[in-house]
Structure formats: structure tokens, C-alpha cells
Amino acid sequence: MSEPDAAQGHVTRSVARWRDGRLVEENDQVAEEVPVAMVYNGDTFAVMMATPHDLEDFALGFSLSEGLIATPAQLLAIEVSTLLEGVEVAMHVPDDAPAAHIGAERQRLLPGRSGCGICGTRDLEQAIRQNDPVGVGAKLTREALELALERLHALQPMNIATGAVHAAAWADRAGEIRLVREDVGRHNALDKLLGALRRRGLDPAEGMVLVTSRASYEMVTKAASAGVTLLAAISAPTALAIELARSAGITLVGFARRGSHNIYTHPHRLAGASPESP
């Protein structure tokens, strides 16, 4: 894959660095984090704190993972406007799309902070959503997983510049990374990736999704809603994430490193993943 444009998603700010007994003023690259209003047919559903990059992918991925549209075809138009207060992503959907009827009952009560996937959700049913089981999915090898993990760092230009953003990536059966999206919010990065996959007509089940964060239950829920069959996180899963991955049929991998990883659910998708006898 071609590397993303590193010129977007971060800005230059001055910083006084204390190094070796001296204070030196230099320029530093810092990640952008701005309010992004998600607006459907003129009604604001949520305001997410996000990196203002790949916002059309974000619009589609967020709309699908939140259940606001049933198919990509229901997102008829996207208009991104930069305002004084932040960014507005205005989307147009048909009358039969759930987003056309968000009203007061489905609007988020609080902004979605960069570290929060469900901030402002009103109901328990909206917070803990049960997904339909995913499909069979591709059989993958440990070598493919490790290859993808090895190559991921070089494909995160925003994080290389700032050290402050998460990434979500999709790799094919061979472990070749085909898509990467970055954001200050791990949920946003995953939504951007899922939107990019759908816009390009790629089947998530034909490979694996990697995230540079913990595997919380929201990440599993978003992955399941898109038909992801293998989700690998470089950090830990939560107990609820494991239970939701098990019920959705997702292979959930945590603490993914070169030479080691933990498989918490459905290990059959990784070749040679059956535990050895003591």
C-alpha cells in the first residue's frame, strides 16, 4: 500500500525542551483534536472529539457501526465544513434510514470524547448491543499476523510525528496491510477504517483488523457490525469484550507482539493455534 499523507492530522507548535541540563525552544508536531459534529438531515446526533482527517471514511464507518444506516447506499451525500468551533459533517440519508428519525430520543446527551465510544448514550440497550454472528471468515497464519504487526508502525505517519494517535489497520490473508486509518480516539480510528473498507469494496472477513489499543467491548461491537472475523489488539481485552467476541463468533487476539499473542476466543482461524498439552 502507499503510505498515507503525513502532512495532515497534526500541526506545529513551539515547545521548550529540557535536555541534558539545557532548556531549548524547538518546534514540535502535535496531533489535532477538534469537535466533529455528526449531523443527519439537519439534526445533530453526536459531537465527537476526533482528528479532522479521513472524515468521509469516518462518516460512513460511524453511521454503520452506530446503526444509523443499514447499508452504505443509504448515505446519500456527505458535506464536510470547517467552522470556527470545529468541523461539521453533514450527511443526507433517505427517510427509511434510522438516522432520518434520530429525534430527541436518539441524540447523544454528551460529546463523544476521544477516549470514549458511547459517551452520552441514553439507554442500556444502546450501550450494550448484541450483534449477529459474523461469517466463517478467512483462515490466517501466525506468520501473517506477525508480518502485519511488524509493518504497521511504519504506516502510521501521524503517530510517528506526534506519538499521540491510535491506528486501526486491515491486512489481507498474507499479512499485507492494505488500509490504515489514524485518530486520537481508538474508536474513531476503527470507524474510519471500517468506512474505508466499505467505500473500497473490501471484505473485512478476508483478512484481519489490527488496533493499537486495548480491545474494549465497543471495539468488538464495531468490528462485529462490519463483519470482521479476526480482531487483534496490541493491548489487553476486557472481560465484556471477550464475551461479546465469543457470542459474535469473532477471533479475538490480545497482547499481539512479535513472537507472542493471546487468543481469547475462536482460535480456529489462526493456523496451528490449538494449545499444546502440558
Residues known to be catalytic: 116
**What gap in Å lies between CA 153 and CA 118, rounded to an integer?**
28
Name which of 123, 87, 85, 129 is nearest 107 in CA terms: 123
**What gap in Å lies between CA 138 and CA 90, rounded to an integer?**
36
Structural element, H or E, at residue 63: helix 55-65
Cell 468488538 locates to 220
Supply the DSSP symbol for 242.
H
Angstrom CA distances, 207 to 119, 138, 179, 203, 276, stand at 30, 6, 11, 8, 25
Report the half-sphere exposure of 169 (CA within 13 A, side-chain side).
Answer: 29
What percent of the residues of the chain are helix, what percent strand, and what percent coil, each to the nearest 5? 30, 30, 40
* Structural Rg of the chain based on CA atoms: 19
Cell 524547538 locates to 26
CB-CB contact of 89 with 37 (8 Å): yes
Positive or negative, the CA dihedral 108, 240, 151, 153 is positive
**What gap in Å lies between CA 12 and CA 133, rounded to an integer?**
45
Neighbours of 272 (CB within 10 A): 9
**What gap in Å lies between CA 134 and CA 84, rounded to an integer?**
42
